[in-house]
Amino acid sequence: MRLYKKEGNTVQILSYPTDNIEKGDYLLVEDANVNRKLITQVIDVQFASVPGLLEELLRDSTMEQQVYGETIDPLGVTSHINHIQDARMLLCKIRGTMLNQKPHVNSSWLPTRSKSGITKIPINILLSHAADSKELPINIGKTKDGTTLNITAHDLDGRLNIITGKKGTGKSHLSKLLVLGLVDYKATVVVLDLNGEYTGLGTSSKGGTNQYSDRVHVLTPGSNFKVSLSQMGLSVILKILVHALDLPGTSTREFKHIWKTLCQQRKISMHELGEAIKQSTCNMHVRDALFSRYYSLVNSGFFTDSEDSATSFEKLFEKTKQTGGALVINLKDISAVDRQIVLEYTLGNLVKILGQWKIKSVFLFAEEAHLYLRETYWEDIVTRMRHFGLFTNFVTNQPDTIQENIYRQADSIFLFNFTNERDLETVSKAARVDSETVKSIAQELPPHHCLLIGKAVNDFPAMVKVRALDIKTMGETRLFFENQNN
Amino acid sequence: MIEQHNYTTTPTYNLPPSPDDLQLPQPFIELSQYTMQNIQSTTMHPNTAETTQQTTAYIENTAPITTIQHPATITTTQLQPDQNLKPVVAVDVSSIRIGETQAGALCAIRGAIVWKEKNRYRYQRLGPFPFHITEENKTEIHKLFQNNHFEIGENHRTPNINNIQARIGNLLERWLQLGISCSAHDTIILWDGSMTAGMPDSPTDEMSRLLETARNRLSTVLAFSKNTTLRFDGQKLTDLANKAKPPCLIKVNNYPVCSGPVLLLGNVYVAKLSSGVCQFRLDIDKKVSHEQAVEAVQSLLGNDLIVQSYPETLRLAHIYSTFTATEVIGIQRFISKQYGLRMVTRPNVRRMLFGMFGKGAEATQ
């Protein structure tokens, strides 16, 4: 391999097929004189523009229907000619320099063109040089050269991460892997599970229990997840009424008044709330508005007056504090309004608990969050809630539903295959990688392969085949024609 | 009574019975290896100038017979394609300068034989063969020519290094032509170039033997020259056919057959075989009657594709023998890897001196 050209932070390297270089590989351009190496990553493999090649191909291909024959080449020169024809130009992005076996994100240095030696470096070796800490590893899968790629739980701690890719590429699978990886290190994880995909986390692939069975708590609203009004502060119930049920301002003021009265009387329950609204002397329209919201709350089945059947997040978090655990909020088969009620409660309560330092921090995994999180929540989650210890991981197959400022603040992106240019354009707005890398590599990622970008891989984008998990798969699409031939 | 043709395979070359299994001349391969294995240099200066290839036809056209004066006359014969199936075989060889070493020049030679099989063309490419020509080994090369009768006169000096490249190419071409003459039967054999003999690369005896062998096997050799210096009555010979209606053959009668040691073994024609702007000098074996010559060209018309008056088989032979720029780089790489030569590009003196005021390539590069 030879260094050919540099333009901006892109270098072109001449190589031959025998070098066996593919997209995503890392190459070290070593300048022996200064004992320094340029770290580059191949983002595209093109054919080298060799003079006379067109003539050659025209001669060989356009006539092949009518002309055939053989070449007698006793000295074996033809193999060298073919070698030239197959020469490749590797388009590489400069990722940094390696000085004294330590990678630095610095691309201002350029090695000698005439004497540089170029070698391939496995990504796990590069990352092992780059990583500050090797504690709490989470095995993501295998790199192209078959070695295990680990990130650390620290890479997810206090960070904003996005898992995205088109349908069926393995986003949810990776998300589950990260959830269980965190649980392994006694972290508390809350999963907003839109399609009930995470409900099998505590069940092995064969249907029995697995090592996570007692640490995964599936909460189905209206079933084993009910709350009482007494658990809830005014702020949480107001968020539900205002944001989930669109209660107007005047009615909100009246509700506050009713709530305070109930608090003074220590009669906070759904039944008492209904009675209080009924007896309220407020404007008829306000009372109607309050009644309609009240019945929405009642009909959601999410509220109970029985303190025994009410779910307490505090208690659940007490449990997960010891052993770690995942609370899976199963939002499957729940109407959009009820979903919003549950979400407003969950997030409001989480912030409240975190604010009271009852737990240190929570990792939130939100699948297709645009379907249940109001827009104003995005910024709130990303900017404000981070300081309370709520670390969010968004999982989506519609990258344009996540706002641009979130991409810009994302610490790591786990990118699966996208074919659509517009989707890639959206993801490429992430600040931690150049758009060319995203567009070039993500378009050709096979299913279950992921491009890791950002802090999780110390800003050295890496391709990985996500490893399998011994859990019951719940996210499979139900097929009409399945087993029809049997 | 049908004449019994006297033909035997030439013992020197042990030629095969058909072009299909034509074997490479072993001494040629050995010579290539010998010259390359004895490279003393450690560096090689690749040829950076525009690739100048020599096809063997180039040498023949330097023949001193250049002017045909009166009382020569011309006869035009209109042609009718003869559709009776007849094989057509063409041979061409190219050589190219690959680079230089401290001791001499590096070149490569490649030959191609193309023949028409039913409606398809089949080719056999021989080579490329690299050669390292130095002052020291040029006598060895010369010896090979002598051993194979490709040398005239005892007093003929060893050619200079620059000419040897073309001479080696010619040697291979003659070998291939002889192989075809010996193996093909009742075939139209196409050569690139003329039938000029008596030049260092085309000894009269050898050339005559080539033609005789072909004749004995009922084959006819047609030699097409893309360029000719022959002039008739002051104008370029091929211009005689400018206004002729194709397909036609214009025969130049009574031209001088020899000039000093140089001898024309063929009758000179101008062939305008199809519409278009091209016409070519065509040499046909002198010992073949005019009628047979016309029949042979008519057979060619009926059995091969003719574009711009040039037979497709010969065009393909040319295409398959010439070197593309990629191939030159590939051969340079082969030499570098196989014989451990380091490539060092010499500065282009013309470009350094004249820059944009230079000629051709160096002005634009």
Please identify, among A130, A157, A191, the residue that sits at the C-terminal boundary of a domain: A130
pLDDT of amino acid A176: 92
- Which of A52, A66, A75 is the closest to B129 by Cβ? A75
What per-residue confidence (pLDDT) applies to B222?
Answer: 93
Distance from CA of B306 to the nearest CA of A (A): 15
Backbone φ and ψ for B284, nearest 5 degrees, come out as -125, 135
Q: Kindly state whether residue A248 falls inside one of the protein's structural domains.
A: yes
CA pair distance B76, A283, nearest whole angstrom: 119
Average pLDDT score, chain A = 85
Within-domain flag for B69 = yes
In this prediction, residue A163 carries a pLDDT of 92
Nearest to B316 among A53, A67, A75 (CB): A67
Question: Does B233 reside within a domain?
Answer: yes
Establish if A484 belongs to a structural domain. Answer: no
pLDDT number for residue B49: 54
Q: Is residue B11 part of a domain?
A: no
Indicate if A213 and A317 belong to the same structural domain: yes
Q: What is residue B365's predicted lDDT score, i.e. its pLDDT? A: 47
Terminal Cα-to-Cα distance of chain B (whole angstroms): 68
Considering the domain architecture, whether residues A321 and A427 belong to the same structural domain is answered as: yes
CB contact under 8 A, A59 and B334: no
Domain that holds residue A119: 2-130
If one counts the domains in chain B, the total is 1
Give SS3 for A83.
Answer: helix
- DSSP E strand boundaries for B20-151: 43-46, 53-55, 67-68, 73-78, 88-100, 104-117, 120-134
Q: Do B326 and A63 touch (CB under 8 A)?
A: no
Flag if A50 and B114 touch (Cβ within 8 Å): no
Any domain includes A242: yes
Residues A395 and A462 in one domain: yes
Q: Which residues of A touch B312 (CB under 8 A)?
A: none
Considering only residues A171 and B149, tell me which one the structure prediction assigns the higher pLDDT: A171
Q: Do B32 and A63 touch (CB under 8 A)?
A: no
Record: contact B333-A80, CB cut-off 8 A: yes
User: Which residues on chain B are in Cβ contact (under 8 Å) with A56?
Assistant: 324, 326-327
pLDDT of B13 reads 35
- Among B327, B336, B344, B345, which would you mutate to test the A interface (most chain A Cβ atoms within 10 Å of its Cβ)? B327
Q: In this predicted model, what pLDDT tens digit does every residue of A395-448 receive, in sequence order?
A: 988 888 887 778 888 889 999 998 888 888 888 877 677 888 888 888 888 888
Could you say which of A83, A114, A130 is where a domain stops?
A: A130
Query: Which residues of chain B neighbour A82 with C-beta distances below 8 Å?
Result: 330
Residue B122 forms contact with A (CB below 8 Å): yes
Q: Is residue B256 part of a domain?
A: yes
Q: What is the pTM of this model?
A: 0.72
Q: How far is CA B259 from the centre of its chain?
A: 22
**Exposed/middle/buried for B147, CB within 10 Å: 0-12, 13-18, 19+?**
exposed
Question: Do B147 and B139 form a contact (C-beta atoms < 8 A)?
Answer: no
Task: Give the B window 20-79 contacts with A, CB below 8 Å.
Answer: 24, 29, 32-33
* Residue in B closest to A71 by C-alpha: B125
Residues A312-340: what's their mean pLDDT?
Answer: 86
Does a structural domain hold residue A422? yes
CA B182 to chain centre: 18
Alpha helices in B38-106 (DSSP H): 57-60
Domain presence at residue A306:
no
Which of B121, B125, B326 shows the shortest C-beta gap to A51? B326
Helix boundaries (H) for chain B = 26-37, 57-60, 138-147, 161-183, 204-216, 290-303, 312-321, 325-339, 349-354, 360-364
Flag whether pLDDT at A164 surpasses 50: yes
Interface probe for B, chosen from A50, A84, A85, A114 (most Cβ of B below 10 Å), is A84
Measure in Å the smallest separation between the Cα of B25 and chain A Cα atoms.
11
The A-side interface with B (CB below 8 A) comprises 50-53, 55-56, 59, 63, 66-78, 80-85
- A248 and A374 belong to one structural domain: no
Partner A contacted by B333 (CB < 8 A): yes
Phi, psi of B75 (to 5 degrees): -130, 130
CB atoms within 10 A of CB A340: 21
- Residues A124, A238, single domain; the answer is no
Instruction: Examine residue A63 and state whether it is found in any structural domain, yes or no.
Output: yes
Indicate if the pLDDT at residue A92 is higher than 90. yes
Instruction: Please name the residue of chain A whose CA is at the shortest distance from the CA of residue B119.
Output: A66
Which pLDDT score, from 0 to 100, does residue A203 have? 85
Q: Are residues A125 and A150 in the same domain?
A: no
Phi, psi of B245 (to 5 degrees): -90, 120
ipTM of the complex: 0.75
B residues 335-354 lying closer than 8 A (beta carbon) to A = 337
> Which of A108, A130, A152 is at the close of a domain?
A130
Interface test with A, best of B115, B334, B339, B345 (most A CBs within 10 A): B334
Higher pLDDT, residue A477 or B279: B279
The CA angle B38-B42-B43, to the nearest 5 degrees, is 115
Buried b (16+ CB within 10 A) or exposed e, A190-222: bbbbbebbbbbbbbbeeeeebebeebbbbbbbb
For chain A, give the percent of residues with pLDDT over 90: 15
Beta-strand runs (E) in A115-187: 117-121, 137-142, 148-152, 161-164
Across the interface, whether the CB atoms of A69 and B124 are under 8 A apart is answered yes
What is the CB-side half-sphere exposure of residue B85 using CA atoms within 13 A?
4
Is the residue at B10 inside a domain? no
Q: Are residues A161 and A76 in the same domain?
A: no
Confidence class of residue A32 from pLDDT cuts 50, 70 and 90? confident
pLDDT at B154: 47
Residue A437 and residue A361 in one domain = yes
Tell me, what DSSP letter sits at residue A369? G
Q: Do B123 and A77 touch (CB under 8 A)?
A: no
Beta bridge mates, B281: B225, B270
Q: What's A433's DSSP letter? A: S
Q: Please name the amino acid found at residue B184.
A: A
Which residue numbers in chain B have pLDDT < 50? Answer: 1-17, 50-51, 57-64, 152-155, 364-365
Nearest Cα residue in chain A from B117 = A67
User: pLDDT band at A91, cuts 50/70/90?
Assistant: very high
Beta strands in B172-312 (DSSP E): 188-192, 196-197, 220-225, 231-232, 235-236, 248-253, 258-259, 262-264, 266-272, 280-285, 306-307, 310-311
Contact status of B255 with chain A (Cβ, < 8 Å): no
| Closest chain B CA to residue A72 | B126
Q: Domains in chain A: how many in total?
A: 3
Q: Which residues in chain A are closer than 8 Å to B37, comparing Cβ atoms?
A: none
The phi and psi torsions of A309 (rounded to 5 degrees) equal -90, -5
Question: Residues A329, A241: one domain?
Answer: no
Give buried/exposed letters for A23-51 (b at 16+ CB in 10 A, else e): bbbbbbbbbeeeebbbbbbbbbbeebebe
Q: What is the pLDDT of residues A111-129, one digit of tens each?
A: 888 888 899 988 888 887 7
B28 CB contacts (<8 Å, ≥6 apart)? B129, B144, B171, B172, B175
A482 to chain B, minimum CA–CA distance in Å? 51
Q: Measured between alpha carbons, how far apart are the two ends of chain A, in Å?
A: 53
CA distances from A318 to A18, A157, A311, B321 (A): 58, 20, 13, 84
Contact A305, A271 (CB under 8 A): yes
**Residue B12 located in a structural domain:** no
CA dist., res. A469 & res. A466, Å (int) = 9
Do the chains contact at A69 and B125, CB–CB below 8 Å?
Answer: yes
Burial B261-298 (b: 16+ CB within 10 A, else e): ebbbbbbbbbbbbbeeebbbbbbbbbebeeeebbbbbb
Do A29 and A145 sit in the same domain of this protein? no
Contact B197, B262 (CB under 8 A): yes
d(CA B312, CA B308): 10
Residue A346 forms part of a structural domain: yes
Q: Which has the higher per-residue pLDDT, A298 or A101?
A: A298
In a shared domain, residues A80 and A184: no
As to burial, measured by CB atoms within 10 angstroms (0-12 exposed, 13-18 middle, 19+ buried), residue B228 is buried
| A455/A437 Cα distance (integer angstroms) | 16
What does DSSP say about strands A449-454 and A462-466: parallel, antiparallel, or unpaired?
antiparallel
In a domain, B300, yes or no: yes
Indicate which of A73, A78, A81, A114 best probes the interface with B, i.e. most B CBs within 10 Å of its own CB. Answer: A81
The answer to whether residue B14 sits within a structural domain is no
Instruction: Write out chain B residues lying below 8 Å of A80, CB-based.
Output: 330-331, 333-334, 337
Whole domain around residue B86: which residue ranges?
19-364
Residue B124 to residue A70, Cβ atoms within 8 A: yes
CATH number of the CATH domain containing A399: 3.40.50.300
* A81: closest chain B residue by CA: B330
Smallest Cβ distance to B122: which of A69, A84, A85?
A69
Residues A177 and A318 occupy one common structural domain: yes
pLDDT, position B54 = 55
Q: Under an 8 A CB cutoff, do A51 and B325 touch?
A: yes
The C-alpha atoms of residue A76 and residue B33 are separated, in whole angstroms, by 12
Size of interface A-B (CB pairs under 8 A): 96
Q: Using the beta-carbon criterion (under 8 Å), do B331 and A77 form an inter-chain contact? A: yes
Contact A68 B125 (CB under 8 A): no
